[in-house]
Amino acid sequence: MFGVRVEMPTNNPIVLLRERNGDRFLPIWVGAAEAAAIAYAQQGVVPPRPLTHDLLRDVIAALGRRLQEVRIVALRDNVFHATLVFDGGIEVSSRSSDAIALALRTGSPILAVDELMDEASIAVSEDEDDEVERFRTFLDHVSAEDFETTPEPPDAPRE
């Protein structure tokens, strides 16, 4: 997993899954609530009340089951589909965003099938990867106040 970002200029949240031993990323667009649930899990944020994914994790444990892995299995009509793979061979279809949020809470691996990676991933060169990492570091340390400016007079020239 690489992280949750916001795609510009549309401001749509996107999850980037990174190939473990390669240079490809799988971009998965998600909703704002799902992006927040994923980001919370990544950052170790514990909300005052459990989120739905926390509840599901607790139900799985209470039933004595274990989520073995999450598989991102298909892209149909621009929507990613996932499968939750439980111990005992049980598989349940899931939205990819919910599957990722649950995997992060249970410490389960997130995998994408090879055919999907071939179809929908984006290759990033090492130089681009370094640039992406530098940008990620920048985003992690920047705040809105860093962009505050003094208002220009109404008749000031604009670029």
Task: Write down the pLDDT at residue 108.
Answer: 96
Assigned CATH for 3-136? 3.10.690.10
Q: Are 16 and 23 in contact (CB under 8 A)?
A: no
Task: Write down the pLDDT at residue 149.
Answer: 44
Task: Write down the pLDDT at residue 128.
Answer: 53
Radius of gyration over every alpha carbon of the chain, rounded to an integer in angstroms: 19
The set of long-range contacts for 120-123, using a CB threshold of 8 Å and a minimum separation of 24, is 120/26, 120/27, 120/75, 120/80, 121/19, 121/24, 121/25, 121/26, 122/24, 122/25, 122/26, 122/27, 123/23, 123/24
Q: Residues in the chain with pLDDT < 50?
A: 146-154, 156-159
Task: Write down the pLDDT at residue 84.
Answer: 98
Map out the domains of the chain as residue ranges.
Answer: 3-136
